[in-house]
Amino acid sequence: MTSLPFASLAVLQLPGGQGLVAPLLMYGGIFAIFYFLLIRPQQQQRKKHELAILELKKGDRIVTAGGLVGEVQHIKSGASASPEDEVTIKSGESRLIIERGRVAKISSSGGTSSSTDKVA
């Protein structure tokens, strides 16, 4: 009589001796490709964007997630910088208060674009 672990291993083997090794290697390879081409670059871009919005300073030109373009006038933050901090921007003749986390793109005060890209 066979024990339970050996019986369960017999179920995994297919005729021809290949078993589930080849499909597992194939799926592992596909996951590795997706990770290095899609997931990892997106994580790096998100971290870079989060650092950029935490380093936001007065005078920076920004574009919000809603498409408003303005210049930072004041940043109201708590004990530490967080995405929920309030940022006052001047757009045209209007002053608007937005959350720091709603900033999509940052340009330096000199008018040159920084390496921060828009993140949806």
pLDDT tens, 42-76?
A: 999 999 999 999 889 999 999 999 999 999 999 98
The kind and range of the H/E element at 11 are helix 4-12
Residue 54 lies in a domain: yes
CATH of the domain at 46: 2.30.30
β-bridge partners, 25: none
Sheet containing strand 61-64, edge to edge, reads: 94-99, 86-91, 69-76, 61-64, 103-107
Q: Give pLDDT, residue 18.
A: 60
Residue 47 lies in a domain: yes
Residue 12 lies in a domain: no
β-bridge partners, 76: 86
Residue 7 lies in a domain: no
Report the first-to-last Cα separation within the chain, whole angstroms: 60
Number of domains the chain contains: 1
Q: Which domain holds residue 37?
A: 18-120
- Number of residues written out for the chain: 120
Residue 113 lies in a domain: yes
Q: Give pLDDT, residue 3.
A: 56
Residue 2 lies in a domain: no
Residue 10 lies in a domain: no
Q: Give pLDDT, residue 84.
A: 80
Residue 11 lies in a domain: no
With a cut of 50, which residues of the chain have pLDDT below it?
Answer: 111-120
Q: Give pLDDT, residue 78.
A: 75
Quick one: tokens of 92? 């045209």
Q: Give pLDDT, residue 114.
A: 45
